[in-house]
Structure 1
């Protein structure tokens, strides 16, 4: 598999799970995707790295234990930036909040944690090394990230200001869908939280992971203790489903209609 060596500013570069039960989460994702994992000690904290192909394989994401058990389990999407302080200034100017100021991650890079107009968390990443995920747009790796929110117009304005994303409207599934682009390259998506969602469901970002067979992987996730929130469904980019993992985090699976990583990123 071709490994990623860099991410352009504004692109998703890493995903991280915060889990109330890291051991159970490790077992679920290892069994579902065939991931390996190892523990990295950062200061006094422990951080789990998920990889493909063993300890020497490329990293696909990270995990840490929830600092507060009262908080829900979730995935955080990290977006590449060349200047974290300047991006944080833009987040504030656009109406978002900074939840954690720029922090050095020993030997790896700098990060900061933010939330948008509706409180959906996301993170910024400026790497030293590695650049972020070692592989994307491949089976068992991240291939898309998506925001669910209520204020579509506000989110388009906010993320356009923060990352320079251009919003393009699509018509997938049952709802109006926003695809964000940088130039001609798709970066991320957005779906409205509407009447099909449980009342009061919080806005959030989730990652999509590439699987060979969406239906088989959804069934396997259920066997492993997950719950299907959106059953396998066909849309133009492929066949997808949305799950709640045993740890409570929401995650999506997709089998792309175009099984080519370059074509997937430049489809019109």
Structure 2
């Protein structure tokens, strides 16, 4: 099984008054093709900064981000733009991630216009297909974000991320802004899409139940460092680091029946009614 994304000794620092703040401190990890890699830790632990370094949305201070064999830090703007079309990101706040003045169809069309030559009926057919894949009908195409629920907006965000047929999706707290029942539907959708399309996910979340449900491997971050990593089930049943054990003990939703395992997680049965 090949590695889709490899991060080697990533460091990201920021100037802070007369000091330097290290947000990511010498982090290395590899994500295998077709798997879900969970990244957990408290707010401010460096998870989202690391993800942005992985996509080169933020240049790391040092270290390498290697995607599909390409060292992203060595690519020029044009080559990097091409490679980025193979990576997608789903953000935490689904409503804020959409332009409030742009229709749903226009939002989904943006990456298609930027990275493909689709026009006219072919473009609209692709938009309709993407909306269908995430459980929304063609009738949503002309609606504005404020006319949709939070769960529906997140489905639009997922459709946008899938528009260029990416190999890797970065899921940055994809369900934290949603109600628990809607979280379950979105998680089922993400799992179904991952299995159907052979996608690879980097899942960032502070919700341990979400990470345990979806992930094959997990890394635990604390103050910019990975303190423990390994198979998801081992991390959750036999944590080795004190910080991991404290996270598990303190998690307010730990053991939540709605998300605890695949036997109790509701299956996705609605067409975008969340």
- Identify the structure with the greater helix proportion: 2
TM-score (norm 2): 0.29
- Identify the structure with the greater strand proportion: 1
Ranked by relative contact order (alpha carbons within 8 Å, sequence separation 6 or more), the top structure is 2
TM-score (norm 1): 0.29
Instruction: Return the index of the structure with the highest Cα Rg.
Output: 2
